[in-house]
Amino acid sequence: MEHAPKAIDVTNDVEMRTFNFFTMGIDGHPLGLHLDMAIPTILNNADEEQQKDWLPKAANREFIATYAQTEMGHGTNLKKLETTATYDPKTQEFVLNSPTITSTKWWPGNLGKSSNYAVVMAQLYTQGKCHGAHPFFVQLRDLNTHKPLKGITVGDIGPKFGMNTVDNGFLQFDHVRTPRRSMFMKHAKVLPDGRYVPPVHDKLNYSAMVFIRAAIVSGMAYHLLVTSTIAVRYSAIRRQGEITPGAGEVKVLDYQTQQHRIFPQLARGLAFRLSGQYIMKLYTQTMDDIRNGDISAVPDLHALSCGLKAVTTHHAALGLEQCRMACGGHGYSQASGFPLHYSVAVGACTYEGENMVMLLQTARHLMKIAKAIRAGQSPKSNKIVDYLFHKGPPKCLIDQAYDTNYRNVLESFEHLARRQTLEVYDKLVQLQQQGRNYEQAWNDCAVELCKATRAHVRTFLARTFVEEIDKISDLSIKSVLQDLLQLYLYYEVTECATGLLEDGFMTGQQHKYAKKKIYEALEKIRPNAVSIVDSFDFQDRELHSVLGRRDGNVYENLLKWAQSSPLNKTDVLPFHHKYLGKMMEEARQRSKI
């Protein structure tokens, strides 16, 4: 079978490093946080002198560092982190302390047993005043003995839902002294006499989180493309049931329901890959801008990365489950690879910012835009949000004709995002006019705020997918990807149809047109499905799946896989005679009486 040329390329080393982080050990490994959070923190939050000292050693793996921010009692609300770093001007040191059980650092990856350094987020106190959470670079273990240093209690938090090759850990400080210069000093500073110098933007110290959120988008694409590959390949060899009686059992991939279950995950994987490239470029550009003193793009980057992270992780979790369920019983076996991929992917719904919190962060940004729109301001030529200022068509234009540039679909997504954003803004204003304070009004609108964010992110994902496919010049690839684009767009239309039908923007007939275009796309994708997933060129070792083997020899290898299970080392297990054998013997004796 001719494999379609490689359609998806990993473009830059940041993405490659993140991919390596995961593909080297899908469920993580001892250097994960070192590579993907500690090094970015040094790159973006250490001053020149600190970078000179720490970066070469970090890049050279002379130590392993993690990112220790979350505590047993707080992960989302960074304002309430309890670990303290109190400056002692007499010795020019900070004293790190964990004052309560809930201040115990809890969850940081590779903290338990691997790391000997950590980026520690602690409430900074100097001259009797708290200046909020700031990052410190702290040694935890002796570089030779690897024993915890004096005043430090550290260990692993125990087995988890997944990613059990990662030693997520706990950490407590008992008045541990660390030099003044262990505070990351690029943005905020504490001078030798204890005076605090504030940063130009109080969230620049959060940049490592922004990096991971941006990386997660491509990460979710990877998970969806991997599991779609497994599901497509297995569905192309699995025969079960007949469509035409007497014509013989068909490949389950020929069932429309199977296609409707799997192909949208493939399409979403591509959409997330393309937006993942965009957001990573925006991250890299924004970090360069900050280095040149320009922080203007920070709010846009934060809003988009939060929204994309929340939407792509949620859809990846749902999509991986669909792929698993589409593979029947063997999909439920560890041999399928689905349990491994799923248990890693769904962690991203929580880590790096729990999804509801992330959606609400983006909503903060949208409410500012809604306020500007209601105040009659004009757009600021920002491709991500300018459409919110525009007036789209009063009615949906989707019809049965072929919509070459998908303008009708994009306008539907834009209409829904615009309507939901402005409606929830108006409700926020109305509740405050009725006497609620802003925070209460915000909480009373939170579900609708999240919907507005999802609509905005859906619009961004769709527009980026359309724009990127439009750039492809190789027509053989372009036509295949356009089938996936068509499926993606109309599938997303039906997914958000409630919102489009709610105000009469879309009619029921137009919803039927959208469904028809989904089924057409499924039919067009079916003959290319295996070539499409083969074009991703995943190695069998990274699929971790007997069902997804490139050679399709599932059954022989499924038996081999089962036979290699430790349980099958002997025909009769030692416990048999001791328990079950004895039980049955006694039962037989009793029945003779």
Ligand X SMILES: CCCCC/C=C\C/C=C\C/C=C\CCCCC(=O)SCCNC(=O)CCNC(=O)[C@H](O)C(C)(C)COP(=O)(O)OP(=O)(O)OC[C@H]1O[C@@H](n2cnc3c(N)ncnc32)[C@H](O)[C@@H]1OP(=O)(O)O
Ligand Y SMILES: Cc1cc2nc3c(=O)[nH]c(=O)nc-3n(C[C@H](O)[C@H](O)[C@H](O)COP(=O)(O)OP(=O)(O)OC[C@H]3O[C@@H](n4cnc5c(N)ncnc54)[C@H](O)[C@@H]3O)c2cc1C
Q: Annotation-wise, does 70 bind a ligand?
A: yes
Q: Which residues contact 100 (CB under 8 A, 6 or more apart)?
A: 73, 82
Cα separation, 166 vs 111, whole angstroms: 9
- Is 21 near ligand Y (CB under 6 A)? no
If you write DSSP's letter for every residue of 254-293 in order, what string do you get? Answer: GSHHHHHHHHHHHHHHHHHHHHHHHHHHHHHHHHHHHHTT
Q: Which residue has the tokens 């390596």?
A: 20
Q: Is 24 in the site for ligand X (CB under 6 A)?
A: no
From 309, 419, 403, select the one nearest 361 (Cα to Cα): 309
Q: Is 313 annotated as a binding residue?
A: no
For residue 377, the minimal CB distance to ligand X (Å) is 17
Q: Angle, to 10 degrees, between the axis of helix 298-325 and the axis of helix 256-291?
A: 160
Residue (of 248, 244, 312) closest to 278 by Cα position: 312
Window 57-76: residues binding ligand X (CB under 6 A)? 67, 69-70, 75-76
Q: In whole angstroms, how large is the CA radius of gyration of the chain? A: 27
Q: Is 219 in the site for ligand Y (CB under 6 A)?
A: no
**Residue placing its CB nearer to ligand Y in the complex, 103 or 412:** 103
Number of chain residues interacting with ligand Y (CB under 6 A): 22
CB of 212 to ligand X, least distance (A): 5
**Among the listed residues 153, 350, 479, 553, the single contact to ligand Y using CB under 6 A:** 350
- Report phi then psi at 427, rounded to 5: -70, -40
Rule CB under 6 A: choose which of 107, 184, 278, 488 binds ligand Y. 107
Query: Is 542 labeled as catalytic in the residue annotation?
Result: no
Is residue 15 at the binding interface for ligand X, with CB under 6 A as the rule? no
540 is a site residue for ligand Y (CB under 6 A)? no
Pick the closer one to ligand X by CB: 214 or 398: 214
| 251-254 contacts, C-beta under 8 A, 24 or more apart | 252/326, 253/526, 253/529, 254/526
Q: Which of 212, 204, 197, 88 is nearest to 135 (CA)?
A: 204
Under the binding rule (CB under 6 A), the answer on residue 442 touching ligand Y is no
Q: Which of residues 283-302 bind ligand Y (CB under 6 A)?
A: none
Q: Which is nearer to ligand Y, 446 or 477 (CB)?
A: 446
Min separation Cβ 103 and ligand Y, Å:
13
Contact flag: residue 212 with ligand X (CB under 6 A): yes
Task: Give Cβ neighbours of residue 329 (< 8 Å, ≥ 6 apart).
Answer: none
Asked if 340 touches ligand Y (CB under 6 A), the answer is no
Collect all residues with Cβ–Cβ distance below 8 Å to 220 and sequence separation of at least 6.
Answer: 272, 276, 312, 313, 315, 316, 345, 348
Selected binder of ligand Y within 157, 191, 356, 558 (CB under 6 A): 356
Candidates 26, 33, 267, 388; binder of ligand Y (CB under 6 A) is 33
Smallest distance, Å, CB 145 to ligand Y? 24
**CB nearer to ligand X: pick between 19 and 63:** 19
User: 3-state DSSP call for residue 506?
Assistant: coil
Output the known binding site: 70, 109
Residues that bind ligand X (CB under 6 A): 18-19, 21-22, 32, 36, 67, 69-70, 75-79, 109, 203, 206, 209-210, 212, 215-216, 219, 222-223, 298-299, 302, 348, 351-353, 357, 361, 364
Residues that bind ligand Y (CB under 6 A): 33, 67-70, 74-76, 107-109, 163, 168, 347, 350-354, 356-357, 360
